[in-house]
């Protein structure tokens, strides 16, 4: 596989529709906080690491918030030590839709709704304390809640507290690492990953 900074458009396009496995703690270990992306991007699919695109602010925001205790550079693929660091902290990562696309708007409404049903099964199985869905528009579509707003939701989600937080993609230009860190810290505090 080429070095990440050398992926060509054709190489990235070859990963279209690829799936990326969920990152979750080992069976029997608690999941405190489950982050939910919309779907894997092509770079994420290429290196099999969630939120891997170099312009994505997910891991810098987690570090600034104190949710993780060390820098993670996923663009070349997360190391097993990086994955274990997240697992030990009780953090999991999954997606609403499983297939990789260049942009989330390539997903159909039915794919997002099917992904919402799959996410319900995943949450039932993993029993996280808190679920944080990154992306209000995808959340509204996946769960048919057109009036949902960002922040903590009133109703629990399969027994977990539910938050809708900003998407960390570089395409979400009005968010910064600092604003994302503040948004992600709130569900992390409720999950016990950060002190209250």
> Does residue 143 surpass a pLDDT of 60?
yes
| Between 87 and 1, the higher pLDDT residue | 87
pLDDT digits (tens, 9 = 90+) for 19-39: 999 999 888 899 999 999 999
All structural domains of the chain, each given as residue ranges with its CATH number in brackets, are 23-191 (3.40.470.10)
pLDDT at residue 1 tops 50: no
Q: Give the residue-averaged pLDDT of 137-141.
A: 94
- Residue 107 tokens, joined: 């997903």
Q: Output DSSP code: residue 41.
A: B
| 134: its two tokens | 């990154």
> How far is it, in rounded angstroms, from Cα 123 to Cα 137?
20
Average pLDDT, the chain: 94
What mean pLDDT do residues 3-11 have?
76
Query: Percentage of the chain with pLDDT > 70?
Result: 97
Predicted TM-score (pTM) of the model is 0.95
Cα Dmax for the chain: 46
Q: Please check the confidence at residue 136 and state whether its pLDDT lies above 70.
A: yes
Joined tokens for residue 9: 């458009």
Averaged pLDDT for residues 155-174 = 92
Beta-bridge mates of residue 40: none
> Which residue's structure tokens are 């697992």?
87
pLDDT in tens, 186-195: 999 999 999 9
At 173 the pLDDT is 78
Predicted confidence (pLDDT) at residue 161 exceeds the cutoff of 90: yes
Q: What is the per-residue pLDDT for 5? A: 61
Q: What pLDDT, on a 0 to 100 scale, did the predictor assign at position 2?
A: 41
């Amino acid at each position: 596989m080429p070095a990440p900074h050398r992926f060509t458009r054709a190489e990235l396009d070859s990963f279209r529709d690829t799936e990326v496995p969920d990152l979750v703690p080992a069976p029997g270990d608690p999941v405190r906080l489950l982050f939910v992306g919309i779907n894997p991007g092509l770079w994420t699919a290429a290196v099999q690491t969630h939120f891997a695109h170099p312009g994505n602010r997910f891991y810098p925001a987690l570090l600034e918030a104190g949710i993780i205790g060390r820098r993670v550079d996923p663009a070349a693929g997360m190391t097993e030590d990086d994955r274990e660091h997240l697992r030990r902290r009780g953090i999991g990562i999954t997606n609403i839709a499983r297939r990789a696309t260049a942009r989330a708007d390539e997903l159909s409404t039915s794919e997002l709704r099917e992904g919402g049903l799959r996410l319900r099964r995943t949450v039932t199985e993993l029993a996280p304390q808190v679920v944080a869905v990154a992306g209000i528009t995808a959340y509204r579509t996946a769960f048919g809640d057109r009036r949902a707003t960002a922040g903590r939701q009133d109703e629990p989600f399969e027994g977990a507290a539910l938050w809708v937080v900003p998407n960390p993609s570089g395409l979400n230009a009005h968010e910064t690492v600092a604003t994302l860190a503040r948004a992600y810290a709130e569900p992390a505090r409720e999950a016990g990953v950060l002190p209250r």
